[in-house]
Amino acid sequence: MGERQRKVHGIMICVPYQGHLSPFVDLALKLASNGIVITFVHLEFLHRKLCDTHYANKTDVDLFSKARELGLDIRCTTMTDPFPLDFDRDANFNEYWEAMARDFPPLVDEFVGNILASDRDMLHFLVADTVYSWPAAVTRKYNLVNVSLWTQSALVYCLGYHWDLLQQNGHFPCKDVADEEIKYVPGVESINTKDLIAYLKQSQCESVISRASRLQFEQAKMADFVLHNTVEELEPQALSALNQYMPNYAVGPLNFSQNLPTNTVTTSFWSKSDCTTWLGSKPPGSVLYVSFGSFVHTNKQVLEELAYGLLLSQVNFVWVIRQGILGDGATSELPAGFREAVKERGLVVGWCDQVEALSNPAVGGFLTHSGWNSTLESMWCGVPMICYPIGFDQPCNSKLVVADWKIGIRLCEDGSLDRENVAHEIQSFMGGGDLERLRQNVGRVSQIMKNAVETDGSSKTNFDRFLKDLKAKIRNQL
Ligand SMILES: *[C@@H]1O[C@H](CO)[C@@H](O)[C@H](O)[C@H]1NC(C)=O
Ligand SMILES: *[C@@H]1O[C@H](CO)[C@@H](O)[C@H](O)[C@H]1NC(C)=O
Ligand SMILES: *[C@@H]1O[C@H](CO)[C@@H](O)[C@H](O)[C@H]1NC(C)=O
């Protein structure tokens, strides 16, 4: 077969988290709609979970079959990770990632090796989530062009990239209570130590995730291509600083690419309650949407203070409390009488379609844990935020929201979360004069994002450039 005719084939391996899966699927559809063959790899347990939730436990469902009927060549397959299917990976996060670091690389090596051996006609490349630290070894062994998909903000990438610099300046490990401005990281004009990534802090510097992240950033420095789920106009300095070191492409927001059959692929971990009817009965802008996302854990006390805060605030709200939010198998019981007391103005659900809820005119604000995916969704929908970051990259995201883009405020900034403050802050946020300014700003940000994915928009142009560079690199590698 002539080299020119050989098809290009991407093997895509995601991490099993909601906020990572959607951008991955979106990228798969995008690549496939540009004539690239894709093998999308789900971890077996996650595939089962999606099938349990959406296909009544049928396990042989092909999650991309509808996309394939539309002409996209995406093959879906699964591989095992080092744990039995019913092991609770979220509740045992540290144990899970300990084992993933140690025992997953040989599994993935064998898996990729088998795929390559079974098809020698195509030209292969690998797309892996940046948070994995095994890709460098695998791609070197098989001489594969590698693409790293970073599903978080470019700000966080800059900080991770310059880990050594932080260390030299005494900010890794960073004192937990420090209050200093960091002004020496290229691409980051200024960030307070309070807003650093949680795993750079002293109390977490020995954690599995801190060690894994450090390794991951070391490796990612050598990736052939890094795709960022952000928008050039929103993080120009961070991205242009990174461009000095490596090929970066801001192609976000990936969950919102136009003209892709995104809704043909099941990505939601849980089944969704419909909030539309309830929201339809509330006045425009009157509802606070409250969710801590799909992954982080919180504790009983926080839930309780929030519950009383919402109760005292008198505002309308939708509160998403997913199963497992307390992390230790505890069921999240709300205070006695809570549901009854708020039944006219509050809706509590286990999960819902977040974009659908945020786009509803009744929703006027989003109380969020500041996960990147939720942040992007709120921005896209033009909804101002109250930020209550819990861990990981979330403090950085809320810094972007509050200080850089001025599209949100922080909850209980100077102290602990207590019900009186929560009530007061929610009330003044939803009713206050500040909201108009935040709304205008977030409206502008939303427009920037929408422009970015249009023809000639920055994310669209960057994606096209990536595709061209990728193909050239693959053919040169022969
Ligand atoms: C699917 O299987 C799980 C565990 O085996 C079980 O708890 C659940 O009820 C099943 N769901 C359906 C819809 O059959
Ligand atoms: C990607 O491939 C290059 C060779 O082109 C290699 O040097 C590098 O280590 C690989 N990096 C990752 C993250 O896979
Ligand atoms: C983003 O995260 C939220 C909360 O975790 C979830 O409801 C939503 O489905 C996610 N969106 C996408 C496109 O993954």
Residue 188 has pLDDT above 90, yes or no: yes
Mean pLDDT, residues 325-337: 79
d(Cα 388, Cα 367) in Å, to the nearest integer? 7
Q: What is the mean pLDDT of the chain?
A: 94
C-beta atoms surrounding 59 within 10 Å: 11
Question: Which pLDDT band, with edges at 50, 70 and 90, does 324 fall under?
Answer: confident
Residue 1 confidence (pLDDT) = 54
Question: Which pLDDT band, with edges at 50, 70 and 90, does 231 fall under?
Answer: very high
Question: 321 is written with which tokens?
Answer: 């409390």
User: Which of 129, 373, 379 to mutate to test ligand 3, by most ligand atoms within 8 A of the CB atom?
Assistant: 373
Question: What pairs with residue 42 in β-bridges?
Answer: 78
Q: Does residue 216 have its Cβ closer than 6 Å to ligand 2?
A: no
Residue 39 has pLDDT above 60, yes or no: yes
Residue 296 has pLDDT above 90, yes or no: no
pLDDT tens per residue across span 367-396: 999 999 999 999 999 999 999 999 999 999
Question: Which pLDDT band, with edges at 50, 70 and 90, does 455 fall under?
Answer: very high
User: Is the CB of residue 258 less than 8 Å from the CB of residue 453?
Assistant: yes
The ligand that comes nearest to the alpha carbon of residue 275 is: 3
Residue 289 confidence (pLDDT) = 98
Question: 62 is written with which tokens?
Answer: 């092909």
Residue 297 confidence (pLDDT) = 86
Q: Walk me through the domains of the chain, giving residue ranges and CATH numbers.
A: 3-258+455-476 (3.40.50.2000), 276-450 (3.40.50.2000)
pLDDT tens per residue across span 389-409: 999 999 999 999 999 999 999
Residue 166 confidence (pLDDT) = 97
pTM for the model stands at 0.95
Question: 203 is written with which tokens?
Answer: 């109390």
User: Which of 20, 22, 378, 381 to mutate to test ligand 3, by most ligand atoms within 8 A of the CB atom?
Assistant: 22
pLDDT tens per residue across span 117-146: 999 999 999 999 999 999 999 999 999 999
Closest C-alpha to 217, from 339, 90, 130, 88: 130
Ligand 1, atom 14, residue with closest C-alpha: 56
User: Which of 272, 295, 351, 354 to mutate to test ligand 3, by most ligand atoms within 8 A of the CB atom?
Assistant: 354
Mean pLDDT, residues 69-75: 96
Ligand 3, atom 14, residue with closest C-alpha: 22
Ligand 2 centroid from CA 224, angstroms: 6
Ligand 2 centroid from CA 208, angstroms: 24
User: Is the CB of residue 358 less than 8 Å from the CB of residue 289?
Assistant: yes
pLDDT tens per residue across span 232-245: 999 999 999 999 99
Question: Which pLDDT band, with edges at 50, 70 and 90, does 308 fall under?
Answer: very high
Residue 329 confidence (pLDDT) = 66
Residue 3 has pLDDT above 90, yes or no: no
Ligand 1 centroid from CA 269, angstroms: 14
Longest dimension (CA), the chain: 72
User: Which of 161, 222, 245, 474 to mutate to test ligand 2, by most ligand atoms within 8 A of the CB atom?
Assistant: 222
Q: Residue 327 contacts by C-beta under 8 Å, 6 or more apart in sequence?
A: 90, 91, 297, 298
d(Cα 115, Cα 132) in Å, to the nearest integer? 19
Residue 60 confidence (pLDDT) = 84
Residue 246 has pLDDT above 70, yes or no: yes
Least confident of 160-164, 173-177, 356-360: 173-177
Question: Which pLDDT band, with edges at 50, 70 and 90, does 214 fall under?
Answer: very high
Question: 371 is written with which tokens?
Answer: 């996960």
Mean pLDDT, residues 416-437: 92
Question: Which pLDDT band, with edges at 50, 70 and 90, does 181 fall under?
Answer: very high
Residue 332 confidence (pLDDT) = 66
Residue 448 confidence (pLDDT) = 98
Q: Distance from first CA to last CA of the chain, Å, rounded?
A: 14
Ligand 3, closest atom to CA 22?
Answer: 14
* Percent of the chain's residues with pLDDT above 70: 98
The ligand that comes nearest to the alpha carbon of residue 253 is: 3
Q: Does residue 139 have its Cβ closer than 6 Å to ligand 2?
A: yes
Ligand 2, atom 12, residue with closest C-alpha: 136
More confident residue, 299 or 163: 163
